Structures are given as C-alpha cells and as structure tokens.
Structure 1
C-alpha cells in the first residue's frame, strides 16, 4: 500500500497540544498514538470534528495539492490548510506507488478550471466543466483509474446523488481490487461508509474509534429519520415556536 501508518513527526519538535488543530480530540489522538491504515479507510463524523483536517494533512504530506489534484499539483487559490501536515510522517511499503489523487468536492470546480487552463498536451482529457458536478466528479475518477496510487476523497457525496455514490464505490472498489490502489475517504454518507471491506473510524469529541457500519451514529440517526421524519421535523418546528 502507498501508506501503512500515519504518526507524529517530532523533528524539530512535537506539535503543541494547546494549538489548533491539536486541540481537536481526533487530531490529538492521531499525534499521540498514530494510526494504522488499511486498503480502504473511512472517516465518519459530524461537521467540525476534524476528519477533513486529518485527510487534508495526509494528502499534503503525500505531496498532493491542498485544493485537490495529483501528486505535485500546484493548484491553489486561497491557502487555508492547517499546520498538521508539517507534524506527521507517513509510513510506506517498499516499492509502493508514490502517485495519487486528492479529491475534495468543495474545490473541484476550481481544480477543473485549472486543468482547462493548463491542458495536458500529450493526452487530451475530458472537458469536466461541460458535465454536471456529479458527472464530472465520476469522469475524473474514470479518467485516472488506471493509474496506481493513493486516492484521498473528502466528502465526495456533496457532488453525488444516491446512484452516483454507488457508482463511485464501484469505481474505487475496482481500483482496490486490482491491487494498484488504496482509498482514504471522509464522508457523511451512510452509502459511502458502507464501502465493502472498509475499516471505519468514527470521529468525534471522543477522538477516533473503530466502529462497525451498523453501529455508526450516522447510520442509526438516518435510519430513525427515514422511519419517522415527522419526529425530527416537529422538534425543529417546536423550537422555532
């Protein structure tokens, strides 16, 4: 695998635990204990708990652009990444692929513009802006799927419908099954969290905990909502009143 473990890098010194993002429990646990990765690793958690901060730092330390793209990508519009990437190191298997792609739905529009402005002269690629958001997202994976390496995706469900999420799982599964790729995924989607064979880490104020899909708070809450949406919606109305 491209990455087997993430751990703190103590040269020239450890990251201060009273400085953001080390103040977030999942980030602090990652620094204190390290984290072993599998062929497919999924991070699930609420907004603001630190899952995107973790996957972003891994992508940057691997050599990917902060706003998406492959290793060596220089695309950047407004730097907002944390300093976490400077305080971690990645353990790699000998001979493992060193290429990969970082996809974050919130910045893919700008990244596709960057690709149009800096075309690959030797290999024409799809005109991503001429497709819908979700279609362009899947087209990008299809276009790059034959290249070995690490795939890091940050909340891709924001670009995808239900069927699009299933299609993405199928594409990524084929990459993993071929033995040429590894997937790290951050998501709010119970569909993407159900990635076959994935190791799931639930991320929250407790830190990181390995959790079975059916035991995720995300899955339990969405099941409950689908069974009785009026209970949740009535509660919101009552608060407004």
Structure 2
C-alpha cells in the first residue's frame, strides 16, 4: 500500500474486544457494517443521513478512539460534564498511517456552550478568546480558525447547527485549506448539503442499509432540499 500522509487509514472492530451485536449501538446497521467489514477512510470523509441512523455515533467513536475529548477539544482537553458517549470507541481499532501526526481536534455543536466556558477558564497559547461574547456561529468559526492548523485529524459533528449559509461556506474554506496541505484529515457528519460538498470528500450515506458511498448530487439530502426549495408549498401542506 502506498505511503499516505493523513493520520487514520481505516477503522475496524478491536480484535480483543468484540462488541455484542445484540445491544446498541451494534444494532445500528451502519455500526454493525463497520464492525463486520471495517471501514476505509479518505483524507476527507463525510457522513450524511437521518437522525438516529448512527452517523454521529460513528464520528464520536472515531474521535474518542483517536484520543480526543468526547465533549470537544484536543487530546489534551479534560472538559467533561455528563458522560453520554456510546461504548463503541472501546471496541474500535484505528488503522493509522505510519509516521503521521498525533494532533487533532473534535468539534461537536451539541456541547459547545459548556466547552467555550472550559476554554475561557483554561486559555491556550493564543491567550483569551471570549467565545461567549460572540454569536454561536461566530464563536464556532473562530474556534475552527484558531485550532484547526497544520497536520492533524479534524473531526466535526453536525457543525451546521451553529452556522448560517455563509458560515458553512466559510467553514468549507477552512477545511479545504487544511486538506490542501496534504497531511490533514477531516471527518465530518452533517445534515447540510453545503458542508456535504466538501471538495474531494468521500461521502457515505448512513441509513437502514448501513453505509453506502454516494455522489453529492445523488444524495437524498440534496434531492430533498432541491425539491423543497423548488416548491415549498408541496411539503408545507402536509404538516
């Protein structure tokens, strides 16, 4: 296999710690598929799918297995409130590329308020950034710009919940620049057709079928948004 510069080549079930297939999250088809067959990751991998399909469960587990903080942050972050993460990370084995960086960061929209407080109370090398004085979207983008630098594994769970359309485009710019360096890796779960259009990304659609690779224009997500924008009244009369 040719030498790759990005951190994680793939994931598989841990050879010494199998997960009981009869219990959640192994009952999710996407998780079961990963455990049974493994999953090859690209420099950029985007997971899309309906709520409850398992995309955030997979993204969270990859981040934790890499050593990132479950509520956001780097491998050194120690912020924690209430533990809600699944056990999946304990049963995964990362297939890492040799000689790559161990740096990384995990951004998850659902825990950002508490995480911003943690960051303000524990300022990093760039000094104090008053995240709570910004809007949710502004603070999210500022964190990405400030922390996502150079080689590393950059994991994001549904960041669009904090971002406007222009904010999503701005985040795409940050991620595109990271990937252009050739030594970074982005793993992203999203409901946004904008973020799903990350240039060069492997797109995996998550659902009752498990995981399936899809082109952006063939995604249910994209088709549904196009249909709604073309004729919103067709959808609104049914609610």
Q: TM-score range by the shorter chain?
A: over 0.9
Do the aligned residues in 1 keep the contact of 2:151 with 2:181 (CA within 8 Å)?
Answer: no
Partner of 2:11: 6
1:113 pairs with 2:109: no
Report matched runs for 1:142-221 at 5 Å. Answer: 142-221=145-224
Residue 177 of structure 2 aligns to a residue whose secondary structure is helix
CA distance in 2, matches of 1:201, 1:142: 26
- Out of 79, 85, 88, which is 2:92 matched to? 88
Partner of 1:239: none
Partner of 2:64: 60
Q: Which runs of 5+ in 1 are unaligned?
A: 237-241
Do the aligned residues in 1 keep the contact of 2:120 with 2:128 (CA within 8 Å)?
Answer: no
1:29 pairs with 2:40: no
TM-score under structure 2 normalisation? 0.96
CA offsets 1:20-75 (integer angstroms, 9 cap, x no match): 00000000000000000001100000001100000000000100111100113211
Partner of 2:103: 99
Q: Which runs of 5+ in 2 are unaligned?
A: 1-5
TM-score under structure 1 normalisation? 0.95
Do the aligned residues in 1 keep the contact of 2:150 with 2:181 (CA within 8 Å)?
Answer: no
Pairwise CA RMSD of aligned residues?
A: 1.0
CA distance in 1, matches of 2:115, 2:30: 28
CA displacement at 1:142 relative to structure 2: 1.0
Residue 238 of structure 2 aligns to a residue whose secondary structure is helix
Do the aligned residues in 2 keep the contact of 1:41 with 1:199 (CA within 8 Å)?
Answer: yes
Q: 4+ residue stretches of structure 1 with deviation over 3 A?
A: none
CA distance in 1, matches of 2:25, 2:144: 30
Residue 164 of structure 1 aligns to a residue whose secondary structure is helix
